Structure 1
Amino acid sequence: MKLPTTPSLRLDGRRALVTGASQGIGLAAACALAQAGAAVTLVARNAQRLDELVAALQAAGHQAEALALDVQDLDAVQSALRGRRFDILVNNAGTNRPKPIDQVCAEDYAAVMDLNVRALYFLTQAVVEHMPQGASVINVSSQMGHVGAANRSLYCASKSAVEGMTRAMAVELGPRGIRVNSVCPTFIETPMTAPFFQEPGFLEAVLAKIPLGRLGQLEDVMGPVVFLASPAAALVTGSALMVDGGWTAH
C-alpha cells in the first residue's frame, strides 16, 4: 500500500526577499525562512542594522544578505531588483498612525497609504516579473483588514486594500504558478505596537477581544510564513491566514 507523504516545509535552494526586515515581524519572517533553508535577502532602510542582522544569521549557519533600500522609492526599487529572481516575497514593510478620524491629516494618509499599499504594489510588480512557477508572495496584512476599530480608519483602509490586492493578484498570477496569500496577525508585541499598550485600558480592551486571551508573539507568525512559502501550501492561494487568537471569529 502506498501511503501519502506530507509535503515538505523545507525551503532549501529557494531565495526569499523580506521587506521591513530590520525588526519585528519582518525580522521574524526572515529568520523563519532562513531557518527553513532559504537564502534570504533582508530589505530595510537602516544599512547598519541590516549588516548586524545578516552577520548574526550567517554566524548561525544561515544564508542571508542585506539590501539597504527605501521601498517607497520606486526608481530605487526597480534598479535594485532588476533581473533578480526570488522564489519567495514577504511584503512586510508597513506603518500605522492611529488617530480619531477627525484628526487624520493628508500627511498621515500619504504616510500610511504610500507605504502599506503603493510601495507593496509596485515592489510586488517588480519581483513577480522574474518569479518562477511555484513561487510564493506573502503579504503581511492584519486582522484590521477584516474588521473595524476606533482610531484606525486609515490603517484598516490600507490593510483592506492589501486583502483586495492579495485576492486579485492570486487570480491573475495563478496561471503562472505563483501563489499570493496574506498573513493577518492580531496585536503582536513589537517595537511598533509597544507605545499602544501604554495607553490606559488599551491592553485590557485588546485582550477582551482575543478568545485565546493573550497578545501575539513574533514566533506566532513565523510558522504561518514558512507554511505559506513552502510546498505544504501548494494549493493555497488568494487566502488570508488569520493569526489573531480568534479576534475575527466573533
Structure 2
Amino acid sequence: MSDLHNPLSGRVALVTGAAGGLGFAVARGLAAAGATVVLHGRDPARLAAAAATLAADGCRTDSLVADLADEAATAAAVARLVAAHGRVDILVNNAGARDRRPLAELDRAAVRRLLEVNLVAPLDLARLVAPHMPAGGRIINITSIAGPIARAGDAAYTASKGGLAALTRALAAELGPAGITVNAVAPGYFASEANRAMVDDPAVAAHLARRTALGRWGAPAEIEGAVTFLASLAAAYVTGQVIAVDGGYLAHF
C-alpha cells in the first residue's frame, strides 16, 4: 500500500531535460511525492544547481549528464543509471528542442536534428529503460498542444510532437503486457524561461486572455500534478492517453 503523503516513496524516476523549466518542475513534483529523482541534462553546472535546490527541500536526487542526440552516450548513461540504482520505475521524456522557422527555411538536416531529440531519443530511452522497469512502471512523454493543432512557421516541431503522441499509444500497446503504462502530458503556454521573450510580449498575454478558458499563462508548477498522477498508483489503469494541461486552450474558441 502506498504512503498517502509520499505516494512515490521508494520509486526511482528519470526526468530528461530537468535542469530548468518544465523539466525541473516535473522533477520537483515527483521528488515531493517521495521518489528519488535522477535529473538529466547536458550542462553539469545547471544540473548541480537544480539538484542543490531540490536537496535543500529535503528531496533525494541524482544527476545524469548525456546528449540524447548521441546514441552511444544515451546507452552509456542508462547503463550508469541502472548500475547506480538497480532499476527505473518512472521515465519522463521531457527533453526537447525547438526550431521555429518557415517551411522554406527548413532543410532536411534541421528536421532530422529536431526529430532526433524530440522523437527518436524518447523511443530509444523507452527501449533502453523498459528491461530495467518492473511491473507497475510508468513512462510519461511530454508532448505539446502543438501535436493536435498547428500554426505556420513550426512544421518540424509540430510533426515531432504529433509523432510523440502516436509513439505514446504504440508503446502503451507494446509494454502493457509487462505491466508498464505509457501516457503523455501535452502542455500549453507555460511561462518558463524558454518562453521568456513571449512571456514579456503583451500581445501574447492578450492572445491567451482571449484564447484560453482560464485567460492566462500557465505557471511551471502547474504541470506537476498531471505528471505525478500518471506516475502514481492512482493511474494504474490509465495508459495510451494524452492529458492536455493548457488552461483550456484546446477546448476553447
Is TM > 0.5 for Structure 1 vs Structure 2? yes
**Quick one: distance in 2 between partners of 1:219 and 1:30?**
10
Residue 11 of structure 1 is aligned with which of 8, 14, 17? 8
CA-based RMSD of the aligned residues comes to: 1.9
Partner of residue 59, structure 2: 62
**Quick one: distance in 1 between partners of 2:17 and 2:2?**
32
- Compared CA separation, residues 105 and 162, structure 1 to 2 (3 A): same
Partner of residue 43, structure 2: 46
Is the CA contact (8 Å cut-off) linking 1:7 and 1:232 kept in structure 2?
A: no
Any idea what the Cα deviations from partners look like across 1:109-160, whole Å, max 9, x if unmatched? 1231111011111112111121100000000001111111122221110100
Q: Which moved more, 1:75-84 or 1:220-229?
A: 75-84
**Quick one: distance in 2 between partners of 1:217 and 1:121?**
28
2:119 matches 1:117: yes
Is the CA contact (8 Å cut-off) linking 2:140 and 2:230 kept in structure 1?
A: yes
Q: Which moved more, 1:121-130 or 1:41-50?
A: 121-130
Any idea what the Cα deviations from partners look like across 1:19-75, whole Å, max 9, x if unmatched? 000110110011111110000100000111111221222222111011111111111
**Quick one: distance in 2 between partners of 1:98 and 1:186?**
16
**Quick one: distance in 1 between partners of 2:168 and 2:28?**
23
Q: Quote the offset at 1:236 in angstroms.
A: 0.5
Is the CA contact (8 Å cut-off) linking 2:205 and 2:216 kept in structure 1?
A: no
Gaps of at least 5 residues in structure 1 are: none
Normalised by the length of structure 2, the TM-score is 0.91
Runs (4 or more) in structure 1 with deviation over 6 Å come to: none
Partner of residue 71, structure 2: 74
**Quick one: distance in 1 between partners of 2:156 and 2:181?**
27
Q: What is the identity percentage for the equivalent residue pairs of Structure 1 and Structure 2?
A: 39
Residue 25 of structure 1 is aligned with which of 22, 27, 31? 22
Q: Quote the offset at 1:204 in angstroms.
A: 2.6
Partner of residue 102, structure 1: 104
**Quick one: distance in 2 between partners of 1:107 and 1:198?**
31
Gaps of at least 5 residues in structure 2 are: none
Q: Which moved more, 1:192-201 or 1:79-88?
A: 192-201
**Quick one: distance in 1 between partners of 2:233 and 2:36?**
16
**Quick one: distance in 2 between partners of 1:90 and 1:170?**
14
The aligned amino acid for 1:127 is: V
Aligned length: 246
Is the CA contact (8 Å cut-off) linking 2:20 and 2:50 kept in structure 1?
A: no
1:153-168 to 2 correspondences below 5 Å = 153-168=155-170
Partner of residue 250, structure 2: 248
- Compared CA separation, residues 237 and 7, structure 1 to 2 (3 A): farther
Q: Quote the offset at 1:183 in angstroms.
A: 0.2
**SS, match of residue 143 in structure 1:** coil
Partner of residue 92, structure 2: 90
**SS, match of residue 98 in structure 2:** coil
